[in-house]
Amino acid sequence: MAIMCQSRRALMEIPAPQPKIAVDPAIYRTGSSRSEAQSERMEDNQTPLSNQQLVQLIRSFILVEQGQRQEPRALTTDLKLLQEDLHLKKTNVYRSIPYSRLGSNRDAHCYRKAYPHLVVFKVSCQEWGQLLLQNEEWESALEHALVAWRYTSELPQWDTSSHNLVREQCYSMLAAHCITALQHYCPDPSKAIELHRRFKMAQLHSQLISPCIQELERSLGEAQVCSMNTR
């Protein structure tokens, strides 16, 4: 796939994430358009995006625009590249945290350092998922959402609960992608069972996946009824 052919830097090993802390309900609405991808308010004393961070964010938009000009079926075989893209952006979040500090590396200061990279991670989750849905790659959209869900669960847990809003917004967005895909795609029984198992695993990280489990179970129930009626 031409859009992802740029050379990639070697990925570093990521430290295991800290145990989960309580998260306040999300107070920002996740926008569906590209222009709203960075709509979150930053604290007054937060560091603005550096030139390098702006370039990285703009590059994500350019890649998506290029992807929209590809044949719809072309993305199916490139899910591995999309996974590597998310892995790299998660790596950049951890690289931005000053581990040499004597205090907590999950405090407000470290959060401000990591915030631009968290936004870039969120943009990748949103834009690639929407592109797969737009191209009606329902199965690929589900796979991408579940992979992105796992990477989201591995993001840092911050000392201040409101700083974990980006994580919650990612969960909410990915669950919406799954719902949309399930409304157009009915997997065969073996795939449905595996998908149900993965949804249950994702539920351990966030209950926002629960509507997806209900939608899959509803779809499976209807498929069983249809199967009985055709006998």
Contact (Cβ atoms closer than 8 angstroms) between residue 195 and residue 216: yes
| Domain total of the chain | 1
Each residue of 184-216: pLDDT tens digit?
998 888 899 999 999 999 999 999 999 999 999
**Is 30 among the domain residues?**
no
Amino acid, res. 218: R
**Is 115 among the domain residues?**
yes
Mean pLDDT highest for which of 2-6, 74-78, 148-152? 148-152
- CA–CA distance, 90 with 216 (Å, rounded to integer): 29
**Is 131 among the domain residues?**
yes
- Which residues in 25-40 are b (16+ Cβ under 10 Å) and which e? ebeeebeeeeeebeeb
The parent domain of residue 168 ranges over: 52-185
**Is 8 among the domain residues?**
no
- CATH number for the domain spanning 156: value is 1.20.58.1590
pTM, rounded to two decimals: 0.68
Give the tokens for residue 94: 């951890």
**Is 149 among the domain residues?**
yes
Amino acid, res. 61: F
Each residue of 134-169: pLDDT tens digit?
999 999 999 999 999 999 999 999 999 999 999 999
**Is 61 among the domain residues?**
yes
**Is 116 among the domain residues?**
yes
The DSSP 8-state label assigned to residue 209 in this structure reads G
**Is 163 among the domain residues?**
yes
Kindly report which listed range (1-10, 111-120, 166-175) carries the lowest average pLDDT score. Answer: 1-10
Cβ neighbours of residue 60 closer than 8 Å, sequence gap 6 or more: 120, 123, 124, 127
Each residue of 11-28: pLDDT tens digit?
333 444 444 333 343 333
- CA–CA distance, 173 with 177 (Å, rounded to integer): 6
* CB atoms inside a 10 Å sphere around CB 3: 18
